[in-house]
Amino acid sequence: MRYDGAIEELRLREYPVLQGTTYLDHAGTTLYAKSLIERFSTDMMANLYGNPHSASNSSQLTTRRVEDIRLRLLEMFGADPAEFDVVFVANATAGIKLVMEAFRDQEDGYWYGYHRDAHTSLIGVREAAFEHHCFTTDTEVDEWIGEGGDGVRRPALFAYPAQSNMNGRRLPLEWSRCIRDKRGSVYTLLDAAAYVSTSPLDLSDPDAAPDFTVLSLYKIFGFPDLGALIVRQASASIFDKRRYFGGGTVESVVCLREQWHAKKEMLHERLEDGTLPIHSIMALDAAMSVHQELYGSMRDVSKHTSFLAAKLYEGLSSLSHGNGASVCHVYKDSTSTYGESHTQGPVVAFNLQNQHGGWVSNAEVEKLAAIKNFQLRTGGLCNPGGVASSLDLAPWEMRANFSAGQRCGNDNDIIRAKPTGMIRVSLGAMSTLNDVASFVHFVREFFAQDASPAVTPPITLKQSKPLIASRLHVESLSVYPIKSCAAFSVPPRKAWEVRREGLAWDREWCLVHQGTGAALSQKRYAEMALIRPSIDLEKGVLRVRLMGRLQETASTDEITVPLSADPRLFSDENTFKGANAKVCGDSIKAKTYKSRQISDFFTQALGVACHLARFPAVGDGDGPLACSRHSKPHLQRKQKAGELHVPGAFPDSRAATAGTAVSKPILLSNESPILTISRSSLNRLNELIKADGGKAAQAEVFRANIVVAEGLHYPPGAEQAYAEDDWRYLQIGQQYFEMLGPCRRCQMVCVDQQTAERNQEPFVTLSKTRRFDGRVYFGEHTSHLPMKNGASALVQNPTIAVGDAVRALLSDEVQDDNMYT
């Protein structure tokens, strides 16, 4: 469907619900608000309402009116006052808290189960529970119901939203009845706050009704600011154990010499602490009347809003960029259908993408929407479970994002090429077809792109050559999660993120001496080679395994540490004097893990008292890079190998001298973000070692991140060993890298990474063949060059993979203005 056609179609279409009434723009809202406030003010001017509980006329009038309105509210839901009571509360959250208090005050505490789509206010109930469980799918709930039985020794409460406040998806209302049928003693709490704003809720059958229903009246009527808790009388006894009482909730209180009190009879009297918001309750009466006069019944509102939501969904989903890519990614639940009011409410949650698939920042959308006077909401939407599952954010990512400065409602909303929140548009009784059409038009006007300005690579070639023709490819990618310990090989074809500070997860952790705080290295503790960390993104853990002879040293040969930098895992910085770990003489603020189990594991393995420490995430701290170290200044390079002059060394460099000062953030790696070696050069080196009867060196001893190899069809003799001495830039897959200069070597390359034994090779042969100016070099320092512009996934989430084609670029192949300084 072409969009312009769609707009016309919307305009011409017979408008089925509010016939005869044309509300354009915000006129509907204005008319409603004006009528409501007028009705309320007429009431206020005509009557004097006193505080209830007195004999005065004004007080009696209040009591009578409040009772009538309570009844009217129950009627709105078809609830029989003999079966239900309604408790006025400040908002839905206050209603949830009342229920939570009742369960908290049970002798053995309570079990709490809640659905993934729950609003934050429902999730908080778990904090007071003895045990709690988050149901991540509907099927899981159905299975749990199907199991039947009470199953639990203590009171149990199951809570879920009737409508997700994230994407408007409506959950099965029959769960309350099913749970009562199959799991007798489990209470149900229905959060109807989002649902009732555009839908009738039928409580006429007390056997099918939830035990507790909470709602926000202001979400239906706009005004007054009130909430309600509707309780099934049959379940009211759970509140008997509520310990608190306040003004108005007790018949009699004794506090001198004896402590005794008698609670009031009616449930609402016992739960409404203090003076009721009586004027708000009066306003509720006016709101119910005006709402019905203008918008008809809640059934009408439901039909009207469902119709509009289906139009909005169609309109947004059909928007596309000039190149055919979609503009809106809508987070619709697979079980729901727009237009079907029992599965979907009038809410559309989505994110916008540019034509290259990159995400548009919500903060940008929000600013423009505000200018155009659209009232929409962005961010985490107070629905952590729903948002995390829709955005596919693992707990470690949410924590990492939090550490990187992401907070609900700030501008920092695209992290690792994933949005951290979404945009939500909700429709109500007062929304019109015109509102829908103008919103779709707005998104198209500002976010649909016609031409496609491609991303610009960071360097310009004098002559373009196809990458395919290259004879090089990535043979392996390795990260060293714990500095100086064994490598983790990135699985073949797995797209691995390249960050400014190097490959993702490289040197995020280190081991620090408990006394000095210095970072341990293989130079002194060769056995570190036998400590093998691996990154398990599925489970969200760093797994550390002891290999070879270390297996006997500790009581267990494997531990796991969460990838999330949960602040509770770390020692208080002040309690550990050595918290400023030293890497290459630089003091860095690594946070040590306080777990005894973790420290014992490494201490027993290496025979030296040490802690595991974590480098704080880049962006954590005061400034954007407050805590990260910066790489040594750009290394000066000369093209002829014989003139190589490189300051600094791996692994223990101190010197940082001349060169163009490009400071790049790195974590705990010693010198540059990434180390690249060439398989051809390694083969040449090993031929020489073997010719002398020595033991060939494995790639691992050089602790490279990237091993670049020539294709198999280049026989050994035809390989170009040490071609990397002349490389200026590398293109790996779609990403660009700058070569910073050769890497200086020391005897650490002699530690066999499988056995932790020290050899003479490859250092002896290296010093015979690769020594310049008294220094020995092998491998190249490398750093990633981000694309210059554009917001595609290439830019937002740069990745490389094993098998990627590699093109080496020499200085004379690139334009001079490329000097990346």
Find the shortest distance in angstroms from Cβ 227 to ligand PLP.
5
Active site residue 627: no
**Residue 263 DSSP code:** E
- Tokens describing residue 289: 């009347």
Q: Is 298 exposed, middle or buried (0-12, 13-18, 19+ CB in 10 A)?
A: buried
Give the residue, chosen from 40, 62, 191, 651, that forms a contact with ligand PLP under the rule CB under 6 A: 191
Tokens 């704080």 belong to 616
Residue span binding ligand PLP (CB under 6 A) among the ranges 186-194, 441-449, 506-514, 688-696: 186-194
Find the shortest distance in angstroms from Cβ 95 to ligand PLP.
8
Which candidate, 134, 135, 127, places its Cα nearest to that of 109?
Answer: 127
- Tokens describing residue 318: 């059909």
Find the shortest distance in angstroms from Cβ 121 to ligand PLP.
5
Nearer to ligand PLP, 191 or 508 (CB): 191
Residue span binding ligand PLP (CB under 6 A) among the ranges 86-94, 386-394, 464-472, 669-677: 86-94
Residue span binding ligand PLP (CB under 6 A) among the ranges 143-151, 188-196, 353-361, 497-505: 188-196
How do beta strands 727-732 and 610-614 pair? Answer: unpaired
Nearer to ligand PLP, 123 or 766 (CB): 123
Residue span binding ligand PLP (CB under 6 A) among the ranges 191-199, 367-375, 448-456, 664-672: 191-199
Nearer to ligand PLP, 91 or 731 (CB): 91
Nearer to ligand PLP, 191 or 366 (CB): 191
Quote the CA–CA distance of 78 and 67 in Å, as a whole number: 17
Collapse the DSSP code of 377 into the 3-class scheme (helix H, G, I; strand E, B; otherwise coil) and give the result: strand
Quote the CA–CA distance of 492 and 473 in Å, as a whole number: 13
Collapse the DSSP code of 665 into the 3-class scheme (helix H, G, I; strand E, B; otherwise coil) and give the result: strand
Q: Which distant-in-sequence residues (6+ apart) come within 8 Å of 584 by Cβ?
A: 651, 652, 653, 654, 670, 671
H or E segment and range at residue 582: strand 580-583
- Please state the φ and ψ torsions of residue 365, each to the nearest 5 degrees: -60, -45
Residue span binding ligand PLP (CB under 6 A) among the ranges 91-99, 249-257, 686-694, 788-796: 91-99
Find the shortest distance in angstroms from Cβ 40 to ligand PLP.
20
Quote the CA–CA distance of 208 and 228 in Å, as a whole number: 19
Give the residue, chosen from 28, 65, 93, 678, that forms a contact with ligand PLP under the rule CB under 6 A: 93
- Is residue 92 within the footprint of ligand PLP (CB under 6 A)? yes
Which candidate, 130, 125, 132, places its Cα nearest to that of 101?
Answer: 125
Which candidate, 112, 183, 187, 171, places its Cα nearest to that of 146?
Answer: 183
The contact mask relative to ligand PLP for 25-64 (x = CB under 6 A, - = no) is ----------------------------------------
Beta bridge partners of 216: 227
Nearer to ligand PLP, 98 or 352 (CB): 98
Spot the catalytic one: 382, 584, 627, 746. Answer: 382
Residue type, 607: G
Are 686 and 697 a contacting pair, CB within 8 Å? yes
Give the residue, chosen from 62, 176, 198, 216, that forms a contact with ligand PLP under the rule CB under 6 A: 216
Crossing angle of helices 27-46 and 278-295, rounded to 10° = 140
- Under rule CB under 6 A, which residues in 141-170 are in contact with ligand PLP? 161, 165
Q: Identify each DSSP E strand in 408-469 by its residue range.
A: 414-415, 418-419, 422-426
Collapse the DSSP code of 105 into the 3-class scheme (helix H, G, I; strand E, B; otherwise coil) and give the result: coil
Q: Which distant-in-sequence residues (6+ apart) come within 8 Å of 713 by Cβ?
A: none
Nearer to ligand PLP, 93 or 361 (CB): 93
Find the shortest distance in angstroms from Cβ 124 to ligand PLP.
11
Nearer to ligand PLP, 92 or 530 (CB): 92
Nearer to ligand PLP, 194 or 618 (CB): 194
- Tokens describing residue 510: 């280190």
- Tokens describing residue 193: 């706050």
Nearer to ligand PLP, 165 or 353 (CB): 165
The contact mask relative to ligand PLP for 756-785 (x = CB under 6 A, - = no) is ------------------------------
Find the shortest distance in angstroms from Cβ 634 to ligand PLP.
53
First-to-final CA distance of the chain: 49
Find the shortest distance in angstroms from Cβ 465 to ligand PLP.
57
CA 688 remoteness from chain centre: 52
Alpha helices, DSSP H, located in 404-481: 433-447
Quote the CA–CA distance of 480 and 534 in Å, as a whole number: 9
- Under rule CB under 6 A, which residues in 223-262 are in contact with ligand PLP? 227
Nearer to ligand PLP, 118 or 785 (CB): 118
Give the residue, chosen from 62, 91, 199, 355, that forms a contact with ligand PLP under the rule CB under 6 A: 91
Find the shortest distance in angstroms from Cβ 179 to ligand PLP.
19
Residue span binding ligand PLP (CB under 6 A) among the ranges 107-115, 137-145, 189-197, 779-787: 189-197
The contact mask relative to ligand PLP for 107-146 (x = CB under 6 A, - = no) is ------------x-x-------------------------
Residue span binding ligand PLP (CB under 6 A) among the ranges 89-97, 511-519, 655-663, 788-796: 89-97
Find the shortest distance in angstroms from Cβ 345 to ligand PLP.
10
Residue span binding ligand PLP (CB under 6 A) among the ranges 88-96, 529-537, 656-664, 799-807: 88-96
Find the shortest distance in angstroms from Cβ 161 to ligand PLP.
4
Find the shortest distance in angstroms from Cβ 135 to ligand PLP.
16
Find the shortest distance in angstroms from Cβ 372 to ligand PLP.
25
Nearer to ligand PLP, 92 or 685 (CB): 92
Quote the CA–CA distance of 420 and 417 in Å, as a whole number: 9
Quote the CA–CA distance of 622 and 301 in Å, as a whole number: 49
Are 190 and 213 a contacting pair, CB within 8 Å? yes
Nearer to ligand PLP, 161 or 790 (CB): 161
**Residue 159 DSSP code:** E
Count the residues of the shown chain that bind ligand PLP, applying the rule CB under 6 A.
12
Instruction: Check residue 554 and give left, alpha or beta (phi > 0: left; psi -120 to 50: alpha).
Output: beta
Q: Which distant-in-sequence residues (6+ apart) come within 8 Å of 55 by Cβ?
A: none
User: Which residues does the annotation mark as catalytic?
Assistant: 382
Which positions lie near ligand PLP, rule CB under 6 A?
Answer: 91-93, 119, 121, 161, 165, 191, 193-194, 216, 227
